[in-house]
Amino acid sequence: MKPELLLNPETVARALLLKTRGLGRGSLQRILESFGSIIPLFESPDRLDHKTVPGINKKLISLVQTNLEKWNIEKAIDRLKKQGIGLVGRNDPQYPKLLAETYSPPELLFYRGDLALLDKPSVAIVGTRNCSAAGREIAFKLAAGLGEIGVVVISGLAAGIDTAAHRGAMQTGQTVAVLGTGLNRPYPARNRQLHQQLAKSNLIVSEYSPETGPHPRNFPARNRIISGLSKAVLVVQAAERSGALITADFALEQGRDVYAVPGAVGDFRHRGCHMLIKQGAGLVEEVEDIIDYLHLQSDFIVEQQTVTISLLAGHVLDLIGFKPLHLDQLVESLENSLGEIACALLELEKKHLIISLPGQRYQKSQDVRHLKIESSQTGEKQL
């Protein structure tokens, strides 16, 4: 059952008002100080003038009045409902608490998906769009590891590290994408399918109205939301002028921890991470490092449980270690058909016992360390 969309009429009214060109948060605040609510102004636009709202010029007031007469709150709510879009504002109790504590939080967040994810422990994973295959794999594995212990992974749905982080988190847990465009404008285009998957089973959010296209100025601004929603920010591969470093800067301003993954000396894609480490960022090589930094283990690792799997899945799990193993190696080691092995792998993935990596490779999930695995025919397996 999908959670009900949050569409408070007062919040929708504020969203409509903010569509007025030239009206920013400061002007909105002055109007709220004078009237307390925006809704009555839609009923009587003439109540708004330069005397009732000092500090706003007549031209802007005239423009706002025109828009108040033109726009309709109920129709706006209906449009958002039809598009499956919810809206949470700073006036709503559901507004994410971590974000509300930051300097200059967004007035509004449009969203698709499960808004409750913003109340769970979260870590941001960000990095360069032009990452290496190794960087992509590291981001994927770290995100998957965080997902296993119930930590939501926050990222920006950009190509490269962001995409790998989202995909890794989706393998084992949950993830939130913070967009630099409106919800109806997937960007980059290559991530359209991932965008849809996240909206359906996880969460995507944006401070921009749904039809807002990609504007360069919006992406650095959305980075403050990525860090603001997170307990910490992890940078995986970033050049000296990478946008990921903007996120790290916001994190420091917001009092968040910053971590970085080191890499090869001389590779420009790691220079930003090395710079952060020199400045005191926590060095991360594996998910346990993040757990230690944030003291997450005692709160989020689950008690030991028993999981039953098929006999073949047990044999496959015996062969797969905590380092990636290629499908071809499994086929060579077992006498079963490719189709049978594929079914066993799917069974293990569904039960979160293994992680599927790019390039038909697999490795054991960290969950295995905390589970009793039993075969349906042979009894308990010792791992």
Query: Based on the domain organization, do 318 and 347 belong to the same domain?
Result: yes
Residue range 173-188: mean pLDDT, rounded: 96
The domain boundary, picked from 271, 300, 329, lies at 300
pLDDT tens string 94-103: 999 999 999 8
d(Cα 228, Cα 249) in Å, to the nearest integer? 11
Please tell me the total count of domains within the chain.
Answer: 2
The predicted model scores a pTM of 0.77
Are 266 and 325 part of one and the same domain? no
Same domain, 249 and 288: yes
In a domain, 44, yes or no: no
Same structural domain for residues 214 and 134? yes
Q: 342 is written with which tokens?
A: 């594929």
Q: What is the pLDDT of residue 190?
A: 94
The pLDDT, as a whole number, for residue 380 is 44
Residues 193 and 296 in one domain: yes
Q: Find out whether 314 and 378 touch, Cβ atoms under 8 Å.
A: yes
pLDDT at 55: 76
Please tell me whether residues 121 and 240 are part of one structural domain: yes
Same domain, 314 and 228: no
Domain assignment present for 132: yes
Q: For 100-215, where are the E strands, in sequence order?
A: 108-113, 122-126, 152-155, 175-178, 203-206
Percent pLDDT > 90 in the chain is 65
Average pLDDT of span 342-361: 89
pLDDT digits (tens, 9 = 90+) for 294-350: 876 444 444 457 889 999 999 999 898 767 889 999 999 998 999 999 999 999 988
Question: For 89-119, b where at least 16 C-beta lie within 10 A, e where not — what string?
Answer: beeeebbbebbeebeebbbbbbbbbebebbe
What pLDDT does residue 83 have? 96
35 lies in some domain: no
Last residue of a domain, one of 280, 300, 320: 300
User: How far apart, in whole angstroms, are the C-alpha atoms of residue 33 and residue 110?
Assistant: 24
Which residues, including other chains, have CB under 8 Å from residue 321's CB and lie 6 or more apart?
363, 364
- The enclosing domain of 148 has a CATH number of 3.40.50.450
Q: Do the beta carbons of residue 333 and residue 340 sit within 8 Å?
A: no
Mean pLDDT value across the chain: 89
Q: What is the pLDDT of residues 227-282, one digit of tens each?
A: 999 999 999 999 988 889 999 999 999 989 999 999 988 888 999 999 999 988 99
pLDDT above 70 for 188:
yes
* C-alpha to C-alpha distance for 102 and 138, rounded to whole angstroms: 29
- Considering the domain architecture, whether residues 327 and 236 belong to the same structural domain is answered as no
């993040």: which residue's tokens?
A: 290
Average pLDDT rounded to a whole number, residues 120-129:
95
7 within some domain: no
Question: Same domain for 340 and 373?
Answer: yes
Same-domain check for residues 277 and 194: yes
Mean pLDDT value of segment 133-151: 95
Q: Which of 254, 280, 300 is the last residue of a domain?
A: 300
Whether the CB-CB separation of 270 and 264 falls below 8 Å is answered with: yes
Give the model's confidence band at 14: pLDDT under 50 very low, under 70 low, under 90 confident, else very high.
very high
Q: Do 183 and 265 lie in a common domain?
A: yes
pLDDT value, residue 367: 64
Which of residues 154 and 20 earns the better pLDDT score?
154
Domain region containing 329:
305-381
DSSP symbol at 20: S
Strand 325-326 relative to strand 361-364: parallel, antiparallel, unpaired? antiparallel
* Residues with Cβ within 8 Å of residue 200, at least 6 apart in sequence: 113
pLDDT value at 140 more than 80 = yes
Identify the CATH number of the domain in which residue 338 sits: 1.10.10.10
Q: Average pLDDT, stretch 123-143?
A: 95
Structural domain includes residue 203: yes
User: How far apart, in whole angstroms, are the C-alpha atoms of residue 283 and residue 95?
Assistant: 32
Query: What is the reported pLDDT for 280?
Result: 87
Question: Do residue 142 and residue 220 come from a single domain?
Answer: yes
**Residue 296 maps to a domain:** yes
pLDDT of residue 1: 59
pLDDT at 295: 74
Does 79 fall in a domain? no
pLDDT band at 382 (very low <50, low <70, confident <90, very high): very low
In a domain, 2, yes or no: no
Show Cβ contacts of residue 174 under 8 Å, excluding neighbours closer than 6 positions: 114, 117, 120, 147, 152, 153, 202, 203
Rounded to whole angstroms, the Cα distance separating 1 from 280 reads 45
Tell me: the pLDDT tens digits for 36-73? Answer: 899 999 988 888 887 788 778 888 888 988 989 989 99
